[in-house]
Structure 1
C-alpha cells in the first residue's frame, strides 16, 4: 500500500521586490481608507497581523526624528520576504511617508501570505 503525503499548492509571490510601490494605495482602497481615517488603529492591526504586539506602533511617538517602530517593521517585512532594499531607503520612507509605508507593508503581507490550499490524495 502506497500513500502520498499532501503537497501544498499555492501561487506564492517569490519576487525579491515589493509587490507594490510606496504610493500604490489604490491597489487596496479599503485599507487605504482605513489608514487615512484611523491610522493608529490601522498600524496596530498591521503590527498584529505581522505577529507583533498590538500596541507596538504607538511607541513611534517616543521617536525623536525617525519613527523607530515603522522603520523596524519595514526592515522586518523586507527581511521576512527577502525583499531587496537598504536601511537608508527604509529610514526615508518611514520618516517622510509613514502612512504610505504602513500601507505598503500591509499590502505586501496580504500578497505574500495568501492562504495555502492543500490537495490530499489518499490511496485505498
Structure 2
C-alpha cells in the first residue's frame, strides 16, 4: 500500500510520540510534529548578559544638583526615574505623589521604589550589586535613587523632559537626518 507521509514526516512524528505527555507535560496531538518542535523553540530563551552600572552606588556627588534634590525631596527623583522606566505609561508627577503618600503613611517608601530598581535592572540587564534591590533601597534610599537617575542619564535620557519629551527629541533627530546633496552633472576635476 502507498504511504502518503514522507520519510522525514514519519521521523518527526516518531520523535514527537516519544515525548509524550507523561515525560514533557505537554500533550501530543495528532497534528503536525513540526508545529510541536516550533512551539518548543519558543520555550528556550537565552538570558541577557548582565552589565555593570555606569556609576557606583556612592558616586552621588558626581551630579551634585541631583544629589541635593534627592536628599531634600526624593519624590522628584523617584518620579523622574519611574516615568522613564515605565516608558511614559505613568507620569513623573503621579509617581512622585504616590511615593510621597506612601512615605507619609508608612514612613518607608523604599519598598515601593525598590520595585522600580528591579524593573530597571531587568530592562537594561544590570547587575544586582552591591546587594539585593530592596536592601539597597532600605539602607541607602537616596544613593539608590541617585544611581538610577545617573544610569538613565548616562544612557541618553534627558531626565528633565520625561519619557514623551525624549521620544519627541528622538523622532525629530530621525526626521532631521542629514542627506547627501544631489550633484548635478556628475563629478568634475
The answer to whether TM tops 0.5 is: yes
149, 153, 158: which one pairs with 1:110?
153
Is the 8 Å Cα contact of residues 100 and 109 (structure 2) preserved in structure 1? Answer: no
Corresponding residue for 2:178?
Answer: 120
Distance 1:22 1:60 in 2: 24
TM-superposed deviation, 1:68: 2.7
Structure 2, unmatched stretches of 5+, are 1-49, 159-169, 183-189
Distance 1:34 1:65 in 2: 18
Q: CA RMSD in A?
A: 2.9
101, 105, 109: which one pairs with 2:144?
101
Number of equivalent positions? 109
Corresponding residue for 2:118?
Answer: 75
Deviating more after overlay: 113-122 vs 19-28? 113-122
Corresponding residue for 1:11?
Answer: none
1:44 aligns with 2:62: no
Corresponding residue for 2:100?
Answer: 58
TM-superposed deviation, 1:84: 2.0
Structure 1, unmatched stretches of 5+, are 1-14
Cα 1:104–1:30 change in 2 (3 A) is: same
Q: Which protein is bigger by CA-based radius of gyration?
A: 2
Cα 1:60–1:73 change in 2 (3 A) is: farther
Task: Give TM-score scaled by structure 1 length.
Answer: 0.69
Q: RCO greater where, 1 or 2, for CA within 8 Å and sep 6 or more?
A: 1
* Offset from partner CA, 1:14-69 (integer Å, 9 cap, x none): x8110111110111111111112222223223323433433333354366878332
